[in-house]
Structure 1
Amino acid sequence: MALPPPAESIPTRPAATPGGAAPVYRSALTLLATLFFMWGFITVINNTLLPHLRSVFDLNYTQTTLIESVWFIAYFVASIPSAKLIERIGYQKSLVVGLMVMAAGALMMIPAARIPSYGVVLTALFVVASGITLLQVAANPYVAVIGSPETASSRLNLVQAFNSMGTTLAPLFGGYLILSRSTSGTRLDGAAEMTMAERLADAQSVQLPYLIVAGVLVVLAIVIARFNLPALGTATRRAAAEERKHHSLWRHRNLVFGVPAIFIYLIAEIGVSNLFINFVSAPEIGNISHATASNYLFLLWGGMMVGRFAGSFLMRSIPAERVLAGAAIGAFVVMIITTFATGPVAMWTLISVGLFHSIMFPTIFTLGIRGLGPLTEEGSGLLIMAIAGGALVIIQGWLADLYGLQMSFLLTAACELYVLFYALWGARPVVSGSEPPPTDEQLAV
């Protein structure tokens, strides 16, 4: 499982300022926030790239969603090698390597567009996703342990907000530089078939955006390589092997049902975002071009950003399980309406699902590790690897080919029902078997 490497020594933290964080850590967080922004940004560029590639290569929905499946397979394949690399070369060098791997993948999109080649596109995106996986494994624990332990949650929420900012702005960037500059992006669905010359020109339209992205990644890698990041050895806490062997992850119901909850939720989130532009563009729904539809995708991701702030506020006074249950019910209702309605109603209900999806991943993750005590780190690793569930978005592509794009969203509705089950029952931190119940200290983890 993809776990951060054990630390060799806990660093001595400099005295905190009145604001609660030492200046050196504030500078590091400012820099690291750019990493979260960039991987959120690049991940969501795929949502504008997919309908574009569907037209360029004349793909069916199964082939289109395979592109995103390859992206999430990289999370599963690269997570353990990433953890081993961090253990070998350290956090800072691993961040640099991750950025350079991402830059290399972005540059591979240029020959993929010139050929053009569907296979090379898949390879390039797998390389980019592998670099992002390395950043995820390195940056998340690093942000958690620098600075005061009392403000760890605040720091993680702050950088996650920058991640949401990247996912919100990416559709505008992709819509302007990819879709609005291509024939496939500006024509309406159902228009005349594209000529070979138009397909070739459209394929080459992705070169400039990815060249810009690669340049930004290289600059960021150089900055991080030269920046004096606080050195961390083994700042992540692991229970001794002797202590851990008396506990079992599989006796914690909230984790056992939490891992599939993350896995299944990712199918819903990725399916909606990847097929959004094709759905909204359909004549019976929005009857708009792909470039215009990308502006509505901005609203979907913007709703997720707003929902995270709102959910954080609500959870101060309402139990997280109850908020999660309300979100799952809301998501189920709007997906049923999306499946059977037409026109603006179907379009706006699909957009609104972002608001309900917003809190699901962080809330499921938090509930999943609740009460694990000395097993918290191992449980977190299983939940992180469950992100690979996004690879199964190809199932929705297959359903769209068989029964139509709109009916395929019934799969999303079914995923929301599992999240509801988890919120109402599966998330309860009850330990099964003979293992003693978690202590107050463990429940506070």
Structure 2
Amino acid sequence: MSKDKSLAAVALITSLFFLWGFALNLNPILIPHLKKACQLTDFQSSLIDSASYIAYFLLPIPAAQFMKKYGYKGGIIFGLLLFSIGAMLFYPAAAVRNYAFFLGALFVVFSGMAFLETAANPLITLIGDPKSATQRINFAQSFNGLAATLAPLLGGMFILSGKTLSAAEEKAMSAEQLNAHLNHEAASVQIPFVVISIVVFLVAMMVWRTAFPKVNEEEVELAGDGRRSLGSQISDLLKNKHLMSGVLAEFFYVGGQACVSSFFIRFSEKVAGFEEKPASLYLSLAFLGFMVGRFTGTLLMKFFNPVKLLVTYSVINIILIVAAINLQGTIAVYTLMAVWFFMSIMFPTIFSLSIRDLGSKTKLGSSLVIMGIVGGAVIPPIMGRLSDATNIQFSYLVPGVCFAMILWFAIKNLKVKKIEIVAGH
């Protein structure tokens, strides 16, 4: 295959990192938006994260089986089509203003993304010169960070209306007026998601028409005895206390990250009196801090033990969360924004520590750690319940507990002197 065609394949795969990063980081915009449009509690609005992250828990293994039969390219095309269909479903969901319909559409979108992540992460390392595999995946991951920064900015611009009715304003409206207002709010997602659907569909067509290099991925035995059943190998790994503590730490990290991000706009409104659109701009800046944190964290790891850095960042985030719970006004928002910077190294560092010394079981162990992403489906509803029972500011105690669990994991690994950091989520 010519170098130009190989570069075209790499460029298309890299674009996938941007697409799923953009979709995932629209959730902090959708949560406050659909809370208004569908008149939801904080708990109900948190199910947006649940519908999204549960797909990451349920679909990777079926996706891997699908790609065994149809290849990486087939998996990418199928994932993009699911993504496109799910985004298009937002149009009828908004037309009938049905929250369950929105959640179903999100699940379809993220089912597609689960296929994309399952295919793109290994494929970007397998296409091209093996010596530059690490550089390629880190370059691709940088587009994921760019998408995370742009999503709340563009989502706030094109989806959020900036108008939140007070209880008095709602009461002053007739039933017809209120219904018309809520329908108008819901309709603002239609055009943006139709555009997303069309763009994703066009990328699917480009992938279909592009010749991908042949990938000769070697079969790796998952355990010393290749004749052992998958269930037996998983059973052995479940008894590995170090690995399971890593799965638990990743569960709390993803759950904590989802909580901090998803309720940020609500926090900014209630604690500092920000309107939706300015709050979405601050959220975009926070995600920019996350991306900067990734680069600076990678640099710092050349000079400092990554485990000690994880301990330090965990302690700082616990302090920042406690401060955000107790402060008032703009300073509380700024304090919460700083959390993103110190979350930046957590996923890849926890992941790398978790699979250390697994040998031939590394591939299967990695799958178990990835399944810890389900924390993003489980923990935000707990925060939503607490917010409904108390207030949004106090509910940030939940991600504080998550960072405490990460600190516990990091302290347990303080004796580790050196690890190889893998690309992070």
Q: Does 1:358 align with 2:344?
A: yes
Give, in whole Å, the separation in 2 of the partners of 1:354 and 1:444.
19
* Runs of 5+ unmatched residues, structure 1: 1-12, 15-21, 431-439
Q: One-letter code of the match for 1:105?
A: G
Q: 1:149 aligns with which of 130, 134, 138?
A: 130
Contact kept, 8 Å, 1:105 with 1:124, in 2: the verdict is yes
Give, in whole Å, the separation in 2 of the partners of 1:37 and 1:244.
40
Aligned-residue offset at 1:27: 3.5
Partner residue of 1:414?
Answer: 401
Q: One-letter code of the match for 1:52?
A: H
Aligned-residue offset at 1:66: 1.1
SS at 2:169 equivalent: coil
Q: 1:221 aligns with which of 204, 222, 230?
A: 204
Give, in whole Å, the separation in 2 of the partners of 1:41 and 1:35.
10
Q: Does 1:271 align with 2:259?
A: yes
Give, in whole Å, the separation in 2 of the partners of 1:367 and 1:151.
23
Q: Which moved more, 1:67-76 or 1:218-227?
A: 67-76
Aligned-residue offset at 1:316: 1.2
Q: 1:286 aligns with which of 266, 269, 272?
A: 272
Q: 2:221 aligns with which of 238, 245, 251?
A: 238
Contact kept, 8 Å, 1:371 with 1:444, in 2: the verdict is no
Aligned-residue offset at 1:26: 3.9
SS at 2:347 equivalent: helix
Q: One-letter code of the match for 2:35?
A: R
Contact kept, 8 Å, 1:253 with 1:428, in 2: the verdict is no
Distance 1:325 1:88, change over 3 A: same
Partner residue of 1:79?
Answer: 60
Give, in whole Å, the separation in 2 of the partners of 1:323 and 1:202.
44
Q: Does 1:60 align with 2:22?
A: no
User: Residues 22-41 of structure 1 correspond to what in structure 2 (within 5 A)?
Assistant: 25-41=6-22
Q: Does 1:192 align with 2:179?
A: no
* Runs of 5+ unmatched residues, structure 2: none
Q: Which moved more, 1:126-135 or 1:193-202?
A: 193-202
Give, in whole Å, the separation in 1 of the partners of 2:43 and 2:10.
40
Q: One-letter code of the match for 1:387?
A: I
SS at 2:89 equivalent: helix
Using structure 1 for the length normalisation, give the TM-score: 0.87
Contact kept, 8 Å, 1:370 with 1:429, in 2: the verdict is no
Partner residue of 2:187?
Answer: 204
Contact kept, 8 Å, 2:222 with 2:361, in 1: the verdict is yes
Q: One-letter code of the match for 2:306?
A: A
CA-to-partner distance for each residue in 1:55-80, whole Å, 9 max, x for gaps? Answer: 11110011000121111111112222
Distance 1:69 1:53, change over 3 A: same
Contact kept, 8 Å, 1:105 with 1:125, in 2: the verdict is yes
Give, in whole Å, the separation in 2 of the partners of 1:49 and 1:35.
21
Aligned-residue offset at 1:288: 1.8
Give, in whole Å, the separation in 2 of the partners of 1:350 and 1:244.
51
Consecutive aligned runs of 4 or more in structure 1 exceeding 6 Å deviation: 188-191, 442-445
SS at 2:225 equivalent: helix
Give, in whole Å, the separation in 2 of the partners of 1:236 and 1:145.
13
Q: Percent identity?
A: 37
Aligned-residue offset at 1:250: 4.5
CA-to-partner distance for each residue in 1:299-320, whole Å, 9 max, x for gaps? Answer: 1111110000001101112121
User: Residues 395-434 of structure 1 correspond to what in structure 2 (within 5 A)?
Assistant: 395-426=382-413
Q: Does 1:322 align with 2:305?
A: no
Q: Does 1:51 align with 2:28?
A: no
* Aligned-pair Cα RMSD in Å: 2.4
Distance 1:273 1:236, change over 3 A: farther
Aligned length: 410
SS at 1:186 equivalent: coil
Give, in whole Å, the separation in 1 of the partners of 2:421 and 2:407.
24
Contact kept, 8 Å, 2:36 with 2:164, in 1: the verdict is no
Contact kept, 8 Å, 2:223 with 2:361, in 1: the verdict is no
Contact kept, 8 Å, 1:189 with 1:287, in 2: the verdict is no
Q: 1:92 aligns with which of 68, 73, 77?
A: 73
Partner residue of 2:90?
Answer: 109
Give, in whole Å, the separation in 1 of the partners of 2:243 and 2:157.
42
Distance 1:140 1:85, change over 3 A: same
Q: One-letter code of the match for 2:119?
A: A
Q: Which moved more, 1:156-165 or 1:207-216?
A: 156-165
CA-to-partner distance for each residue in 1:103-126, whole Å, 9 max, x for gaps? Answer: 000010000001111111010000
Aligned-residue offset at 1:428: 5.6
User: Residues 245-260 of structure 1 correspond to what in structure 2 (within 5 A)?
Assistant: 248-250=236-238, 252-260=240-248
Aligned-residue offset at 1:342: 0.7
SS at 1:192 equivalent: helix
CA-to-partner distance for each residue in 1:345-364, whole Å, 9 max, x for gaps? Answer: 21111111000111111111
Aligned-residue offset at 1:254: 3.5
Distance 1:205 1:271, change over 3 A: same
Q: Does 1:368 align with 2:368?
A: no
Q: Does 1:161 align with 2:142?
A: yes
Q: Does 1:305 align with 2:269?
A: no
Contact kept, 8 Å, 2:79 with 2:116, in 1: the verdict is yes
Partner residue of 1:433?
Answer: none
Contact kept, 8 Å, 1:321 with 1:427, in 2: the verdict is yes
Contact kept, 8 Å, 1:48 with 1:294, in 2: the verdict is yes
Contact kept, 8 Å, 2:146 with 2:291, in 1: the verdict is yes
Distance 1:318 1:150, change over 3 A: farther
Contact kept, 8 Å, 1:373 with 1:443, in 2: the verdict is no
Q: One-letter code of the match for 2:85?
A: A
Give, in whole Å, the separation in 2 of the partners of 1:243 and 1:79.
22
